[in-house]
Amino acid sequence: MPDGPDHPESWIFHMAMAWLGDANNKMSYPERLALIKERAVGMGEPARSAFLWLPDDTEVHKADISFWIPKPWDNRNGRMSLIGDAAHPMPPYRGQGLNHCICDASYLLAGISEVHGGVKDLATMIKDYEADIIPRGQEEVKCSVENGYMLHDWKKVETSPVFTRGFKPMEGHDAEPEKKGEDISEHARVHRERDTEENITVAAA
């Protein structure tokens, strides 16, 4: 927001569109722009217009999503370690990457304080730090990858809590199991009806 919240005309937006499959590196900016506009036509508002109104000179970059399921690394006899995305790069589909980075930094800082205070030696502290970060990273990367695949499968998205419950506060783990079946949101119902109509039209053509 270069000119502040009262000047939305100066705001800079980062827009992203993602799909599974072909990672064509050779497309030019205008070709990518045409592709995302083509894909935006079937979207709901306001995403549809936000993409379709992109200026013709917009530079559309490609970012492949990659991940690594952490496994023990060579910490040079406890003299170095990894932190953040270097330790557990993951797809952004659960929005947990930075949260884990903060967690890593906080645990590492506490460990360094212990070394500084003579409570632990460096190698032991690094061993303890990695005993937390590696399994925690493994679990989150696997979960984020799984969630990423689910978010790119429309039928699965329709069964997700965002659709079945809407943006309501989540209950705790002890909550009643979700109601199954046709307990879907208005948004999901409209999409299903539209899909059905399109299928009927195609079948009739």
Ligand X SMILES: Cc1cc2nc3c(=O)[nH]c(=O)nc-3n(C[C@H](O)[C@H](O)[C@H](O)COP(=O)(O)OP(=O)(O)OC[C@H]3O[C@@H](n4cnc5c(N)ncnc54)[C@H](O)[C@@H]3O)c2cc1C
Options 97, 127, 162, 191; binder of ligand X; rule CB under 6 A: 97
Helix (H, G, I), strand (E, B) or coil at 136: helix
Angle at which helix 122-151 crosses helix 97-116, to 10 degrees, equals 170
Helix (H, G, I), strand (E, B) or coil at 26: coil
For the chain, the C-alpha Rg in angstroms (whole number) is: 23
Q: Does 132 bind ligand X (CB under 6 A)?
A: no
Cis omega (within 30 of 0) on the bond before 46? yes
Write the binding mask 7 to 46 for ligand X: x where contact by CB under 6 A, - elsewhere.
---------x------------------------------
Options 32, 54, 75, 85; binder of ligand X; rule CB under 6 A: 85
CB-based burial label for 19 (10 Å; 0-12, 13-18, 19+) = exposed
Q: Does 137 bind ligand X (CB under 6 A)?
A: no
Q: Does 162 bind ligand X (CB under 6 A)?
A: no
Q: Does 84 bind ligand X (CB under 6 A)?
A: yes
Nearer to ligand X by Cβ, of 84 and 148: the residue is 84
Q: Does 106 bind ligand X (CB under 6 A)?
A: no
| Cβ neighbours for 77, distance < 8 A, ≥ 6 positions apart | 123
Q: Say how many residues touch ligand X, by CB under 6 A.
A: 11
Cβ pair 96, 145 in contact under 8 A: no
Nearer to ligand X by Cβ, of 16 and 203: the residue is 16
**Site for ligand X, rule CB under 6 A:** 16, 84-86, 92, 95-99, 101
